[in-house]
């Protein structure tokens, strides 16, 4: 396929490993779709595959997304072949070559060998290393800072110790490998770890023949394509999933949450694009839903660093141009850095979780008391048996009302979580959870027994690009070829912010006429995670609200409100004037990150709701939305 002048249409059917298997069929039925992409890999997913690799103890296995081969591809192959839709996915995970081979075998079984399969690899930095290497094997690896691309140690996540086994270490490859595979005639492209948005950037790079020597706005185009990929790679996140105003999704019809529409981007040659979804599907595409996803899992919006480009989101603007159609413009790009970001997994002891149902009068107090009693009892046993004490122990009282309905009493799910270097010690802990049902407080019931598992820790890191190569193989008998990186910025100031943009003003006038209202009345919110860092995006519902939000929701106010979660870390506020939005970055806020945290919300998914439903803003009474309550 070559570009014909019309917008290129790309749909994404998978936000993560476990997304609805019906989504692929929904989008594959869109006849005008040029590309279908699927993002299966998150930090937690890489941890799952690393755990499977560990349990096999070096024995060969399928370290790719089997769900893609078993439940998705057989159903959509006839449709994408008929509609001439090409497929790009990172389902290769830790074994992209094995995934390519499995896809080719499936094509043979379905008598569809006319479709050509390509693989993009080179991301697996353990390839060729000893079975379980340590940090000493990677002399050039640097820690990654959420605040600075230059000062790599600034509030960075935990790095492995000298003796910690590294289970997985993968570079986030760029989009050039995907573009090269498509240029060689690939119909299906399978990758390992790539930048999530590269699944979209690669096809656009190929279709529009983007090249640094051809386009003077090359980096702006790459940045815009990267934003398009970022918006749709989380599936329904931009079509009403996880949206603050969730009742709008219900009211919009077409089945609402039971028939959610998956996203489609219509990308124009000038770099602007439209976000939409298939007709007749549930969900909502609006500036609210799209802006929430733009801020999701971002740090400094002026320096959103990808492998191929640095994206500047500060002047992005959204416009509703029709029902479920949002036009996106204003993205800017800068030359990339000499570093490629990596995703690593190492083992740091073991962990276990146990749950006990507790109901009735003073349920929360009973839960906290019993959780602490389990900890103290185990600590006494450890001392007697010669074990060290817990490295960490976490007690949570997760509340609900399902048993008692309209009555005042409540039930609690007590969750106790522990971290220890010795699995034998956690085996003791596992045996001491259920006995509290008969030896503890009243109205307690069995729920789940703890399992002792390796405590896998995710760590982000940086590696010089010259040490990472991208390898492409196209077709069953294709020969592998390597691709060079684009030129990168070698100036030591590459981490400096781009030229300044007008800031969001802060209200500093009289205060006697101001009234308090909940932040949720004035703003949307979306939170996400990167390692042990949580970001909370706050978007003003009306530009007039932004100066008052800026005045009330300061770094200090957020740090104070979230101090029970942001333990020992920092809070930094960034501005996105084009979206009338703020991005709060909280370090050391997730108990170590998604795969190692002992918290029930290990990815910070609830943090935005905590902020917007609990924090308050002072605003003139005449600006207060009609439905908003004064406090």
| Chain segment 144-175, per-residue pLDDT in tens | 888 887 788 888 888 998 888 898 999 999 99
In the chain, what is the greatest distance between 2 CA atoms, to the nearest angstrom? 76
In a domain, 462, yes or no: no
Distances (CA, A) of 426 to 419, 448, 457: 8, 15, 18
Helices (H), 29-114: 43-56, 66-67, 73-83, 96-109
Tell me what pLDDT residue 407 has: 53
In a domain, 129, yes or no: no
In this structure, are 177 and 258 located in the same domain? yes
- Residues 193/46, Cβ–Cβ less than 8 Å: yes
In this structure, are 205 and 66 located in the same domain? yes
SS3 255: coil
Q: Is the pLDDT of residue 405 over 70?
A: no
pTM over 0.85: yes
Q: Is the pLDDT of residue 403 over 60?
A: no
pLDDT band for 1, please (50, 70, 90 cuts).
very low
Tell me what pLDDT residue 497 has: 64
Alpha-carbon gap, residue 20 to 262, rounded angstroms? 10
Q: What residue ranges in 91-228 does DSSP mark as E strands?
A: 117-121, 142-143, 166-171, 188-191
Alpha-carbon gap, residue 206 to 296, rounded angstroms? 27
Domain count, the chain: 3
CB atoms within 10 A of CB 579: 28
The C-alpha angle with vertex 44 and arms to 231 and 264, in degrees rounded to 5, equals 20
- Residues 230/196, Cβ–Cβ less than 8 Å: yes
In this structure, are 331 and 412 located in the same domain? no
Tell me what pLDDT residue 200 has: 99
Alpha-carbon gap, residue 628 to 285, rounded angstroms? 24
- Residues 313/576, Cβ–Cβ less than 8 Å: yes
- Residues 27/37, Cβ–Cβ less than 8 Å: no
Rounded to the nearest integer, the mean pLDDT of the chain is: 93
CB atoms within 10 A of CB 71: 11
- Encoded tokens for 383: 């001392």
Please tell me which residue, 406 or 28, carries the higher pLDDT value. Answer: 28
For residue 96, the surrounding DSSP H or E stretch is: helix 96-109
- Encoded tokens for 582: 């703020």
In a domain, 108, yes or no: yes
Tell me what pLDDT residue 409 has: 57
Q: Report CA 348 to chain centroid distance, whole Å.
A: 23
Q: Quote the DSSP letter at residue 338.
A: S
Give me the phi and psi of 367, to 5 degrees please: -60, -50
Alpha-carbon gap, residue 83 to 207, rounded angstroms? 17
In a domain, 249, yes or no: yes
In this structure, are 270 and 360 located in the same domain? no
pLDDT band for 498, please (50, 70, 90 cuts).
confident
- Encoded tokens for 92: 């290769």
- Encoded tokens for 556: 């200090």
Q: What is the dihedral of CA 365, 366, 372, 378, to 10 degrees?
A: 180
Secondary structure, 3-state, 344-371: EEEEEEEEEEEEEEEEECCHHHHHHHHH
18 Ramachandran zone, left/alpha/beta (phi>0; psi -120 to 50): left
In a domain, 381, yes or no: yes
User: Which residue from 407, 621, 417, 363 is spatially nearest to 513, judged by alpha carbons?
Assistant: 621
- Encoded tokens for 259: 């028939």
Alpha-carbon gap, residue 39 to 603, rounded angstroms? 18
pLDDT digits (tens, 9 = 90+) for 230-274: 999 999 999 999 999 999 999 999 999 999 999 999 999 999 999
In a domain, 590, yes or no: yes
In this structure, are 313 and 398 located in the same domain? no
Q: Quote the DSSP letter at residue 72.
A: I
- Residues 222/176, Cβ–Cβ less than 8 Å: no
Rg (alpha carbons) of the chain, rounded to whole number: 25
In this structure, are 270 and 400 located in the same domain? no
Query: What CATH code is carried by the domain that includes residue 407?
Result: 3.30.70
- Residues 628/616, Cβ–Cβ less than 8 Å: no
Tell me what pLDDT residue 408 has: 53
Please tell me which residue, 283 or 129, carries the higher pLDDT value. Answer: 283
User: Which residue from 234, 233, 107, 127 is spatially nearest to 175, judged by alpha carbons?
Assistant: 233
User: Which residue from 114, 111, 109, 164 is spatially nearest to 141, judged by alpha carbons?
Assistant: 164
- Residues 91/189, Cβ–Cβ less than 8 Å: no
Q: Is the pLDDT of residue 227 over 60?
A: yes
CB atoms within 10 A of CB 1: 15
In a domain, 535, yes or no: yes
User: Which residue from 521, 541, 598, 542 is spatially nearest to 565, judged by alpha carbons?
Assistant: 598
In this structure, are 276 and 204 located in the same domain? yes
Tell me what pLDDT residue 2 has: 52
Alpha-carbon gap, residue 120 to 97, rounded angstroms? 8
- Encoded tokens for 356: 């006990």
pLDDT band for 58, please (50, 70, 90 cuts).
low
- Residues 336/489, Cβ–Cβ less than 8 Å: yes
In this structure, are 448 and 396 located in the same domain? yes
pLDDT digits (tens, 9 = 90+) for 89-145: 999 999 999 999 999 999 999 999 999 999 999 999 988 776 678 888 888 888 888
Alpha-carbon gap, residue 92 to 391, rounded angstroms? 35
In a domain, 464, yes or no: no
Query: Looking at residues 43-48, what average pLDDT do you find?
Result: 85
In this structure, are 305 and 357 located in the same domain? no
Residues in CB range of 198: below 8 A, 6 or more apart? 173, 174, 175, 178, 191, 229, 306, 307, 308
Partnered with residue 310 across adjacent β-strands are 305, 334
Secondary structure, 3-state, 320-339: EEECCEEEEECCEEECCCCE
CB-count exposure of residue 525 (10 Å: 0-12, 13-18, 19+): buried
Alpha-carbon gap, residue 354 to 369, rounded angstroms? 15
Alpha-carbon gap, residue 581 to 601, rounded angstroms? 24
- Encoded tokens for 529: 């995670």
In this structure, are 225 and 307 located in the same domain? yes
Q: What is the dihedral of CA 223, 198, 137, 92, to 10 degrees?
A: 170
In this structure, are 277 and 372 located in the same domain? no
Half-sphere exposure (Cβ direction) of 468: Cα atoms closer than 13 Å: 31
Alpha-carbon gap, residue 373 to 377, rounded angstroms? 6
Q: Report CA 620 to chain centroid distance, whole Å.
A: 37
In this structure, are 190 and 249 located in the same domain? yes
- The boundaries of the domain holding residue 595 are 514-623
User: Which residue from 501, 514, 513, 532 is spatially nearest to 598, judged by alpha carbons?
Assistant: 532
């Amino acid at each position: 396929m070559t570009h014909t002048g019309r917008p290129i249409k790309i749909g994404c059917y998978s936000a993560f490993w476990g997304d609805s298997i019906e989504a692929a069929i929904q989008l594959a039925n869109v006849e005008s779709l040029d590309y279908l992409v699927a993002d299966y890999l998150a930090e937690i997913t890489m941890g799952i595959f690393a755990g499977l690799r560990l349990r096999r103890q070096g024995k060969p296995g399928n370290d790719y997304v089997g769900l893609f081969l078993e439940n998705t591809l057989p159903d959509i192959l006839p449709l994408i072949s008929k509609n001439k839709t090409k497929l790009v996915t990172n389902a290769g995970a830790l074994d992209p070559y094995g995934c390519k081979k499995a896809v080719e075998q499936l094509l043979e079984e379905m008598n569809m060998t006319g479709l050509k399969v390509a693989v993009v690899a080179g991301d697996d930095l353990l390839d060729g290393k000893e079975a379980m290497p340590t940090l000493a094997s990677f002399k050039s690896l640097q820690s990654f800072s959420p605040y600075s691309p230059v000062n790599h140690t600034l509030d960075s996540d935990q790095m492995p110790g000298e003796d910690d086994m590294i289970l997985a270490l993968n570079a986030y490859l760029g989009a050039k490998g995907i573009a090269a595979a498509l240029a060689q005639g690939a119909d299906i492209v399978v990758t390992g770890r790539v930048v999530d948005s590269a699944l979209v950037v690669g096809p656009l790079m190929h279709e529009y023949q983007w090249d640094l020597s051809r386009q003077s706005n090359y980096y702006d185009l790459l940045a815009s394509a990267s934003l398009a990929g970022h918006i749709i790679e989380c599936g329904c996140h931009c079509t009403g999933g996880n949206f603050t105003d969730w009742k709008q999704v219900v009211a919009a019809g077409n089945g609402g949450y039971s028939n959610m529409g998956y996203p489609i981007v219509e990308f124009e040659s000038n770099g602007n694009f439209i976000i939409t979804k298939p007709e007749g599907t549930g969900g909502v595409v609006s500036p609210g839903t799209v802006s929430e996803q733009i801020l999701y899992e971002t740090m400094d919006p002026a320096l959103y660093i990808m492998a191929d480009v640095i994206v500047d989101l500060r002047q992005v603007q959204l416009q509703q141009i029709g029902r479920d159609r949002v036009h996106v413009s204003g993205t800017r790009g800068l030359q990339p850095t000499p570093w490629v970001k990596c995703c690593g997994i190492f083992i740091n002891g073991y962990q276990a979780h146990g749950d006990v149902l507790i109901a009735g009068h003073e349920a929360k107090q009973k839960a906290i008391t019993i959780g602490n009693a389990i900890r103290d009892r185990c600590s006494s046993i450890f001392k007697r048996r010669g074990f060290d004490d817990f490295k960490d122990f976490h007690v949570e009282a997760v509340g609900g009302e399902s048993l008692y309905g309209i009555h005042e009493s409540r039930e609690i799910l007590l969750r106790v979580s522990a971290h220890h270097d010795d699995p034998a010690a956690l085996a003791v802990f596992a045996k001491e959870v259920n006995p509290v049902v008969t030896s503890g407080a009243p109205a307690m019931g069995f729920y789940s027994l703890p399992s002792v598992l390796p405590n896998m820790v995710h760590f982000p890191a940086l590696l010089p690009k010259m040490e990472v190569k991208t390898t492409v193989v196209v077709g069953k008998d294709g020969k592998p070829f390597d691709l060079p990186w684009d030129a990168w910025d070698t100036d030591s100031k590459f981490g400096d912010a781009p030229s300044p943009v007008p800031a969001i003003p802060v209200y500093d006038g009289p205060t006697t006429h101001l009234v308090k209202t909940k932040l949720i009345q004035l703003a949307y919110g979306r939170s996400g995670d990167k390692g042990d860092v949580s970001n909370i995006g706050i978007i003003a519902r009306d530009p007039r609200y932004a100066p008052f939000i800026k005045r009330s929701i300061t770094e200090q106010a957020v740090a104070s409100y979230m101090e029970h979660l942001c333990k020992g870390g920092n809070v930094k506020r960034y501005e996105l004037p084009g979206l009338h939005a703020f991005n709060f970055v909280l370090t050391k806020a997730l108990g170590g990150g998604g795969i190692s945290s002992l918290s029930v919300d290990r990815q910070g998914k609830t943090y935005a709701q905590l902020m917007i439903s609990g924090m308050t803003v002072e605003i003139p009474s005449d600006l207060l939305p009609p439905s908003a309550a004064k406090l």
